[in-house]
C-alpha cells in the first residue's frame, strides 16, 4: 500500500478496517513509515527492526469441519443453556438444533450452529429460533430445558423473537430470513404464533 492509501484508510476505514482519524501528527507519520517500510523512529522503541513478517493472516470465516461438512469436534455443536446469574453455574444445558440428514440416520440430536437469542414469557416458556439447519421454532420449559413444542419456519429464524399482546391474547413473533444459512432457502417472513382463541 502507498502512503496516501494508508492515510485514506486511517481517515475513512476500508474493508473490515475501521477508521482511525484520531491518529495524527508524528504518530501518523511513524505508523505510515513502519507500514511502508520507510525508515522511521518510534518514540517508544528507539531501535530495532520495526518491520516484522506477519505470521498470521485472516482467511475468512472458515469452519473446522470433517470430510462430510459437519463440525470436526464432538457434539453437542450448539446448546441452549440456563445459568444461575448469582453463582455462574449451569442450571441446565440442552442441545439446540439438529442436522436433518443426521436425524434421518437416527443420530441423536447433536445441536447445530445457532444465531439469535430467546425470549421468556411471564409464564416460564422460553421461545427460540436461532438454528440454521433444521429451521425450527421451539418452546422450552425455562425451569428444566424440556422441549414443549416446535414448529417449522419457512426460512431459518436467526433472530431473537418478540412477544406482544392484542386484546388479551399473547403472540410470539420471529423474523425468518434464512440469513447465515448459505445452503438453505432465503427469504423474508415474519411468523407469529399464539394459543388457539377461546
> What top-level class would CATH report for the domain 79-194?
mainly beta
pLDDT on residue 181: 67
For the segment 168-188, the average pLDDT, to the nearest whole number, is: 86
Residue-wise pLDDT for 15-45, tens only, equals 777 888 888 888 888 889 888 887 655 555 5
- Cα torsion angle, 58, 60, 66, 71, sign: positive
DSSP 32: H
pTM for the predicted model, two decimal places:
0.68
Residue-wise pLDDT for 121-169, tens only, equals 999 999 999 998 999 999 999 999 999 999 999 999 999 999 999 999 9
Domain ranges of the chain: 1-62, 79-194
Residue-wise pLDDT for 1-20, tens only, equals 889 999 999 988 887 778 88
Cell reading at 54: 506477519
Residue-wise pLDDT for 95-113, tens only, equals 999 999 999 999 989 999 9
Residue-wise pLDDT for 40-80, tens only, equals 555 555 555 555 555 666 666 778 889 898 999 999 999 99
Return d(Cα 7, Cα 59) in angstroms, integer: 25
Amino acid at each position: 500500500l502507498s502512503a496516501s492509501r494508508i492515510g485514506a484508510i486511517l481517515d475513512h476505514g476500508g474493508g473490515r478496517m475501521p477508521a482511525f482519524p484520531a491518529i495524527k501528527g508524528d504518530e501518523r507519520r511513524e505508523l505510515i513509515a513502519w507500514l511502508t517500510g520507510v525508515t522511521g523512529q518510534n518514540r517508544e522503541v528507539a531501535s530495532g527492526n520495526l518491520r516484522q513478517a506477519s505470521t498470521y493472516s485472516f482467511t475468512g470465516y472458515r469452519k473446522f469441519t470433517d470430510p462430510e461438512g459437519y463440525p470436526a469436534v464432538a457434539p453437542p455443536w450448539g446448546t441452549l443453556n440456563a445459568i444461575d446469574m448469582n453463582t455462574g453455574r449451569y442450571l441446565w444445558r440442552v442441545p439446540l438444533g439438529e442436522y436433518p440428514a443426521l436425524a434421518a440416520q437416527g443420530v441423536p440430536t447433536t445441536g447445530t450452529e445457532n444465531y439469535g437469542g430467546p425470549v421468556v414469557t411471564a409464564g416460564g416458556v422460553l421461545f427460540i429460533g436461532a438454528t440454521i439447519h433444521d429451521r425450527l421454532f421451539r418452546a422450552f420449559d425455562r425451569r428444566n430445558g424440556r422441549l414443549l413444542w416446535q414448529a417449522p419456519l419457512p426460512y431459518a429464524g436467526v433472530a431473537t423473537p418478540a412477544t406482544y399482546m392484542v386484546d388479551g391474547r399473547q403472540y410470539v413473533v420471529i423474523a425468518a430470513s434464512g440469513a447465515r444459512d448459505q445452503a438453505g432457502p432465503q427469504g423474508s417472513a415474519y411468523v407469529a404464533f399464539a394459543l388457539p382463541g377461546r
